[in-house]
Chains A and B, each alone.
Chain A
Amino acid sequence: MIAIVDYDTGNLCSVCNALRRLGVEYVLTDDAETIRNADKVLLPGVGEASSAMEKLRERGLCDVIKNLTQPVLGICIGMQLMCASSEEGNTTCLGIFPTAVKRFAADKAAGVKVPHMGWNEIHSLKTPLLDGLAEGSFLYFVHSFAPQMCDEAIASSVNGVQFAAALNKGNFYGTQFHPEKSGTIGEVILRNFVEKC
């Protein structure tokens, strides 16, 4: 059973729908015990980082998530919350991935837009999470802030600057892109998380 952490942020049903299409059982929960006992944990999220952190704190879930030993996948804001800090609302985050989340700078002359919205290529792919993907695969991104490159990056992408498009440290994984909205390639990634991580 996969526990999807429900902390009242963004559009949770797109992740639920994606798992249902793959035939994977899940439970939507903010209960610490259910999360601890799940085979795998998914931390989704759309929204603003500091208020999302506040919602995790209110539910007493920060330490619960940090101390999980089963595979955990954070998506978008979910991954950003697993980093050290975020410029969005100047918040400290869970500190699982030792990198900072910073805002993109728009550059009209170079065609760099903020938010970074649409399909972009990912490179330097590592770990079972990204098994079966070709270098330069296109994934769907929607965000204005991104984690800086670090040793834990398992994929990189470029929007004006290079950033970590996916991260892995021990049992923790994160993607800045949305596998649940990235067509069949996104489904490969979710299936890898379910079957290979």
Chain B
Amino acid sequence: MVAKRIIPCLDVKDGRTVKGVNFVGLKDVGDAVELGCRYAQEGADELVYLDISATVEGRKTFTSLVERIAQNINIPFTVGGGISTMDDAARLLDAGADKISINSAAVANPAIIDQIAAKYGSQFLVLAIDAKQVDGIWRITTHGGNKLTDKELISWAYEGQERGAGEILFTSMDHDGTKNGYPCETYAALADKLSIPIIASGGAGSVDDIVKVLTDGKADAALAASIFHYGEVSIAELKKELQKRDIKVRL
């Protein structure tokens, strides 16, 4: 059986990491490559780099950063943020990304999932989904949670799988940033419906939260940012703890 994955997420703006733990001995905490190497050494199973640049110039900088990440990091990494065209996908593949994640662009134009999967394979495409509960229904949001759509979570995730997405990265906008844990029942419902891997994101405040989403929530991986960045728990400590709780991890 494949091990459960722990994935730190790094936000990058204009080529520099804007959130990141202040590792002792790092020359430059803003350097996304150095931070990624450090996480890889600590036992991260994959990395996610999210481009939050708002300008064309910032996006260009991100592409050259992706090249540098590919040259230096020896574990798989996903890049996301602002990807909306086949050209974006090609540019990031050529730069050396193992996977890309798309979010708002797929909601606006679901056929882009089919196009990317057909051209580059499902393994290259992570469908990122943000959703929040409205009157008891999980509804998809886009643009960082600012726009509410009519799409429902599980049917959209299933559609994404059928169109060719290789993984689902689901973030609950009701839980993101709260550190109150994940909506495990919803993750489990997704896992019961889908056959592709599911990555849980947003809400982890403790090791127990991560244990719960990987067991009760049946998630295949947990992605987190602040819990690692602010040094509340190291990846190595987290994975040792998961192993103690009989969760299969790579140590």
Contacts and interface: CB of A to CB of B under 8 A. Distances in A.
B200 to A, nearest CB: 14
Contacts of B14: none
A111 B123 contact: no
B122 interface: yes
Interface in B177-220: 191-192, 195-197, 218, 220
Interface stretch (A26-34, A65-73, A178-186): A178-186
B115 interface: no
B5 interface: yes
Nearest to B74: A183
A184 B122 CA distance: 26
Interface in B8-32: none
A132 interface: no
Interface string A80-122: 0000000000000000000000000010100111111111110
B123 A115 contact: yes
Contacts of A180: 74
A79 B245 CA distance: 36
- Interface size of B as a range: 20 to 34
Interface residues of A, number: 40
A140 to B, nearest CB: 6
A191 to B, nearest CB: 12
A138 interface: yes
Contacts of A197: none
A61 interface: no
A121 B3 CA distance: 8
Contacts of B122: 115, 144
Contacts of B221: 118
A11 interface: yes
A118 B2 contact: yes
A21 B93 CA distance: 20
Contacts of A116: 2
A7 to B, nearest CB: 16
A120 B121 contact: no
Nearest to B196: A113
Contact of B71 (A17, A140, A159, A182): A17
A118 B74 CA distance: 14
Nearest to A10: B121
Contacts of B45: 118-119
B75 A13 contact: no
A14 interface: yes
Contacts of A121: 3
A121 to B, nearest CB: 8
Interface string A1-41: 00000000011011001101100000000000000000000
Nearest to B248: A121
Interface string A158-197: 1100000000000000000010111110110000000000
Interface of A: 10-11, 13-14, 17-18, 20-21, 46-48, 106, 108, 111-121, 138, 140-144, 158-159, 178, 180-184, 186-187
20 contacts: A14-B98, A17-B96, A21-B72, A21-B74, A46-B121, A108-B191, A108-B195, A115-B122, A118-B5, A118-B197, A118-B221, A120-B2, A121-B3, A142-B76, A143-B123, A178-B76, A180-B74, A181-B76, A182-B75, A187-B74
Pairs of residues from A and B, 6 with the lowest C-beta to C-beta distance, nearest first:
A138-B250, A106-B195, A118-B2, A119-B250, A142-B123, A119-B3
Given A119-B2, A119-B3, A186-B74, 19 more contacts: A14-B70, A18-B74, A46-B123, A106-B195, A111-B1, A113-B197, A115-B122, A117-B167, A118-B3, A118-B197, A118-B220, A119-B5, A120-B3, A138-B250, A140-B76, A180-B74, A181-B98, A182-B74, A182-B75
